[in-house]
Amino acid sequence: MSLRENERRILAEIEQALAEDDPDLDEHLKGFGIDDPSDDEEDRPGRGVLLLLIGAGALVLCALLAGIYFSAPVQGTEPAAPASSPAGQGVPGAGGG
């Protein structure tokens, strides 16, 4: 979106008045357009590897938690009954008589 000539002139006047009124703020605001080379992501080649390791660790953690969750017994259920002996032999009260 381009500005009309009148708008550009008004902004230039405001900028000039601000620079005269508060030079410290003017210098600070002029620094916003300058790129800081310490923030460049190209300077950190190990970042991709770090993100890959973090992702793999999160995946392993989720798998472990899912395994623990699904291997836990459901509350309110009884454990499976042991296999009964054939024909009720050796089981008290089976009535073998």
Is 9 contained in some domain? yes
* Number of domains making up the chain: 1
pLDDT at position 26, please? 81
Name the DSSP letter for residue 72: S
Is 91 contained in some domain? no
Task: Specify whether the CB–CB gap between 56 and 48 falls below 8 A.
Answer: no
- Angle in degrees, CA 12, 14, 17, rounded to 5: 110
pLDDT at position 55, please? 96
Q: Average pLDDT for residues 11-18, to the nearest whole number?
A: 89
Distance in angstroms between the alpha carbons of the first and the last residue of the chain: 101
**Per-residue pLDDT reduced to its tens digit, 42-87:** 556 788 889 999 999 999 999 999 999 988 887 777 766 666 656 5
Helix axes of 5-21 and 23-30: crossing angle, nearest 10 degrees: 130
Range of the domain at 8: 1-34
Residue 21 has pLDDT above 80, yes or no: yes
pLDDT at position 67, please? 93
Is 4 contained in some domain? yes
Is 96 contained in some domain? no
**Per-residue pLDDT reduced to its tens digit, 30-40:** 777 666 655 55
Residue whose C-alpha is closest to residue 5's, from 33, 13, 26, 32: 13
Is 1 contained in some domain? yes
Sign of CA dihedral 81, 83, 87, 89: negative
Question: Whole-model pTM above 0.75?
Answer: no
